[in-house]
Amino acid sequence: MKNRTAPSKLVMAAYLLPCLIVFLFVVVSPIFAAGYYSTFKWPGGRRMSPVGIQNYLDMLRDSIFWHSFANNIYITVFCLIGQIGFAFLFASLLNTKGLKAKGFHRVVSYFPVTLSAVVVGFVWTMIYDYNYGILNFLLRLAGGEEGGHRWLSDPSTIMTVVSIPLIWQYIGMYLVIILAAMTSIPSEVLEMAQIDGAGGFKRAVHIVLPLIRSPLIICVMLCISGNMRVFDHIYAMTRGGPGYASSVMAQYAYNVSFMQVNMGYGSTLSIGILIISMVLVTSSRSLLMWLSRKGAA
């Protein structure tokens, strides 16, 4: 039998080079381009006039941008509880011995992840529709013909309404990660805890959660980064309305860049979103790692 040796560094670099070129072209170069254009007043076309850091000063005073940032924070917190919380609950159920058709349940749970975000937005728009949506249909059955609610037009509840489709779509992604972590826990550990009288809740809190701490931190990081750049669902359902009630940072940057044709300030908003997201993800990771070490100690 021939001995197989690892490929040389030159061969590995040759394999990685096309991916690296695509990454630089698609991800890195637009960041530098946005940073360059953010120093200009650019209403489209070739009319560009340098303004220095004025766009950044305007962003700091832009109440709509910070309102959109607050909406992103609301969605992130809501989805952290909903996506990861439900994923942990469902993973615990799928990890039990008595449950039948586990493969079917896993496929059904993961199926929404495979759908386009725009498709999910349109489907939930139909569910929320005042005249023909299933929610108002059920409310009218329960409360008469006058029952119903304008789900996508009420500023007081709009952020919760647009967050629910996000939770529904991405539970399956975190379910797969958490379930894989749970299946790696030795069954003897859980059996000994059960013999000692620990119920299902105590086993989940005091045994399962500490043992899957690292995968949970990964889930939290993915959830924060994903919901800080959410755009497709909001665009499909509300376009940021009513008014700016459901506007998020990416939606506002899109409106400024392409609806208001203010490319320079739109680039500034994009850089602002990048910086804020990086700060949040980095600080959250540091906090979670500190809590993890403290809990382990």
pLDDT tens digits, 27-75: 899 999 999 999 999 887 778 888 989 999 999 999 999 999 999 999 9
- Provide the pLDDT for residue 170: 93
Q: Over the chain, what is the mean pLDDT?
A: 87
140: left (phi over 0), alpha (psi -120 to 50) or beta: alpha
Q: Give the SS3 label for residue 238.
A: coil
- Provide the pLDDT for residue 210: 81
Q: How large is the average pLDDT for residues 169-185?
A: 90
What are 123-157's pLDDT values in tens digits?
999 999 988 889 888 888 887 656 678 899 999 99
- Provide the pLDDT for residue 286: 85
Q: Enumerate residues 6+ apart whose C-beta is below 8 A from 170.
A: 79, 83, 112, 113, 223, 226
What are 83-104's pLDDT values in tens digits?
999 999 998 888 877 777 778 8
pTM over 0.85: yes
Query: The tokens of 164 are what?
Result: 């629910």
Q: Enumerate residues 6+ apart whose C-beta is below 8 A from 40.
A: 48, 49, 50, 51, 264
- Provide the pLDDT for residue 4: 65
Q: How large is the average pLDDT for residues 228-243?
A: 91
Domain made up of 50-296: CATH architecture = Orthogonal Bundle (1.10)
Residue ranges covered by each domain of the chain: 50-296
- Provide the pLDDT for residue 143: 72
Residue the block writes with tokens 């004025």: 54
Beta bridge partners of 49: 41
- Residue 195: pLDDT band with limits 50, 70, 90: confident
